[in-house]
């Protein structure tokens, strides 16, 4: 019997055979949704210079299908596939748009190279501490992922610093004219200040079974991680492209934060899962 504390979102038998939508031929400003589609085809079909922000969480090269009708890809095939779809991103991103690509350490240098070759300006490499699992018997536990942050024009892009400042304990509170200098007292009497976020993120966890956002998707990103990206690099009403949508986290957070969004996902069950999460969000309003 499942624990009553298990909040994992699952598809019912009926939901698993429901129809999924494919990408409309014409995208309007009112279009939002998660659609089934192959990434390279979608990037060729979407409107030019349309999205203000792209968030991509591509499959890692672990023998999975990457959308070319093959069950597995060799290392060279994976590299060529990455170069192809990353090379298409400038086509659909606005001139002042931003881009984030999630990857693990094995492919990190590949994505750095692909972004440079596509003409992007890389502003940072974020490291996310994604503690999960018990670790390996004969190796260091894999405990991090990279997120490449790039823009088309490093002189013109959105970055909302005040939206993503984080609280930090003040070890030696300093006063000026008897008043706190850029810090405040919490209700428990400790001193704290809102500080600039760094490129090392240790304050968010992989979703797990007792969290309402959790799904059966094996590589689901936490909503808190995606929310930080969206708040920093877009504004309400902006258009977000959610590539390799998976369980739909980017689309769900985009909707909650009043952004327009298009999610693209090849696996029909993951499309259904993302759509279900959007429906749950609607019911909460």
Higher pLDDT, 283 or 226: 226
Same domain, 208 and 148: yes
Predicted TM-score of the model (pTM)? 0.90
Same domain, 28 and 148: yes
Instruction: Give the tens place of pLDDT for each residue, 47-68.
Output: 999 999 999 999 986 555 444 4
**What pLDDT sits at residue 130?**
84
> End of a domain among 196, 218, 246?
196
Same domain, 112 and 209: yes
Q: What is the mean pLDDT of residues 239-263?
A: 97
Same domain, 88 and 137: yes
Whether 213 and 227 have beta carbons less than 8 Å apart is answered as: no
CA–CA distance, 195 with 53 (Å, rounded to integer) = 24
Same domain, 21 and 127: yes
> End of a domain among 196, 219, 247?
196
8, part of any domain: no
10, part of any domain: no
Q: What is the mean pLDDT of residues 5-17?
A: 92
What DSSP state is assigned to residue 9? B
pLDDT at 70 over 60: no
Read off the CATH number of the domain in which 104 is found.
3.40.50.150
**What pLDDT sits at residue 72?**
57
pLDDT over 70 for what percent of the chain? 94
Query: Which residues, 6+ apart, have CB-to-CB distance to 57 below 8 Å?
Result: 101, 102, 219, 221, 243, 244, 246, 250
Task: For the chain, give the mean pLDDT.
Answer: 90
Number of folded domains that form the chain: 2
Q: What is the mean pLDDT of residues 94-111?
A: 96
235, part of any domain: yes
Domain coverage including residue 50: 15-158+198-284
Confidence of residue 188 (pLDDT cuts 50, 70, 90): confident
pLDDT at 163 over 50: yes
Same domain, 30 and 64: yes
Q: What is the mean pLDDT of residues 4-31?
A: 88
280, part of any domain: yes
Closest CA to 162 of 194, 131, 135: 194
CA–CA distance, 285 with 282 (Å, rounded to integer) = 5
7, part of any domain: no
Lowest mean pLDDT among 114-118, 148-152, 205-209: 205-209
The total of other beta-carbon atoms located within 10 Å of residue 69's CB is 7
Lowest mean pLDDT among 122-126, 140-144, 160-164, 228-232: 140-144
**What pLDDT sits at residue 2?**
62
**What pLDDT sits at residue 172?**
72
């Amino acid at each position: 019997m499942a624990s009553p504390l298990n909040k994992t979102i699952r598809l019912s038998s009926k939901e698993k055979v429901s129809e999924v939508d494919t990408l409309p031929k014409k995208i309007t400003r009112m279009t939002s949704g998660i659609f089934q589609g192959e990434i390279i085809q979608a990037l060729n079909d979407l409107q030019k210079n349309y999205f203000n922000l792209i968030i991509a969480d591509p499959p890692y090269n672990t023998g999975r299908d990457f959308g070319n009708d093959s069950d597995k890809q060799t290392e060279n095939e994976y590299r060529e596939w990455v170069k192809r779809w990353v090379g298409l991103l400038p086509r659909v991103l606005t001139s002042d748009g931003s881009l984030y690509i999630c990857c693990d350490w094995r492919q990190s240098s590949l994505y750095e190279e692909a972004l440079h070759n596509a003409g992007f300006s890389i502003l940072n490499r974020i490291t996310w501490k994604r503690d999960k699992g018990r670790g390996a018997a004969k190796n260091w536990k894999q405990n991090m992922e990279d997120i490449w942050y790039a823009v088309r024009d490093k002189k013109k892009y959105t970055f909302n610093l005040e939206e993503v400042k984080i609280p930090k304990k003040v070890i030696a509170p300093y006063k000026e004219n008897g008043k706190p200098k850029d810090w405040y007292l919490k209700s428990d009497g400790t001193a704290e200040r809102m500080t600039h976020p760094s490129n090392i993120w240790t304050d968010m966890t992989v979703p797990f079974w007792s969290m309402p956002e959790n799904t059966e998707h094996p590589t689901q990103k936490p909503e808190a991680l995606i929310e930080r990206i969206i708040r920093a690099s877009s504004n309400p009403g902006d258009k977000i492209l959610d590539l390799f949508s998976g369980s739909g986290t980017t689309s769900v957070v985009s909707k909650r934060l009043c952004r327009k969004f298009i999610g693209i996902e090849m696996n029909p069950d993951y499309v259904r899962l993302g759509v279900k999460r959007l429906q749950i969000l609607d019911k909460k309003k």
